[in-house]
């Protein structure tokens, strides 16, 4: 049976666990969730770069706040397709439909409806 991690990797995980004050399974879960989010950002960012979806739609697709999506796009230097004036107006109308309810941004890119 092949080992998933070698001794040095396990030792490094244990050091991070001590520093973070969490057990190894919680640390691995945290790493996996971070990687899943990064994967979603990458996929949504690529679709946004192609001009298929708006930034707001990319954020929804990636399951992050629009601010997190904006940060990702800036970090990765993703340039959107240039839109005509009509396309910009359509995007504004679409964004208003997508965000017709009021939301409050919480930590880690989660949204909560304000009542």
User: What is the rounded average pLDDT for all residues in the chain?
Assistant: 83
Share of the chain above pLDDT 90, in %: 55
Domain that holds residue 55: 8-113
Q: Is residue 31 part of a domain?
A: yes
Per the structure, how many domains does the chain have?
1
Q: What are phi and psi of 113, to 5 degrees?
A: -70, 135
- Beta-carbon count within 10 A of 86 CB: 8
- pLDDT for 47-79, tens place per residue? 999 888 889 999 999 999 999 999 999 999 998
Bridge partner residues of 111 (DSSP): 105
In a domain, 90, yes or no: yes
What predicted TM-score, i.e. pTM, was given to this entire model? 0.65
Asked if residue 46 belongs to a domain, the reply is yes
Residue 2 lies in a domain: no
Q: Does 3 map to a domain?
A: no
Please indicate, yes or no, if residue 1 is contained in any of the structural domains.
no
Where residue 100 falls among pLDDT bands split at 50, 70, 90?
low
- List all residues 6 or more positions away from 103 whose beta carbon is below 8 Å from its beta carbon: 111, 112, 113, 114
pLDDT at 106: 41
What phi and psi, each to the nearest 5 degrees, are found at residue 109?
75, 15
Q: Is the pLDDT assigned to residue 95 strictly greater than 70?
A: yes
- What percent of the chain stands above pLDDT 70? 83
């Amino acid at each position: 049976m092949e080992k998933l991690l070698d001794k040095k990797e396990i030792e490094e995980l244990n050091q991070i666990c001590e520093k973070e004050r969490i057990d190894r399974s919680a640390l691995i879960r945290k790493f996996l969730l971070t990687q899943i989010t990064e994967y979603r950002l990458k996929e949504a960012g690529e679709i946004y770069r192609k001009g298929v979806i708006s930034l707001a739609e990319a954020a929804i697709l990636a399951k992050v706040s629009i601010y997190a999506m904006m940060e990702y796009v800036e970090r990765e230097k993703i340039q959107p397709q240039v839109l005509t004036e009509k396309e910009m107006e359509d995007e504004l109308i679409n964004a208003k439909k997508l965000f017709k309810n009021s939301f409050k941004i919480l930590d880690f890119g989660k949204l909560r409806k304000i009542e």
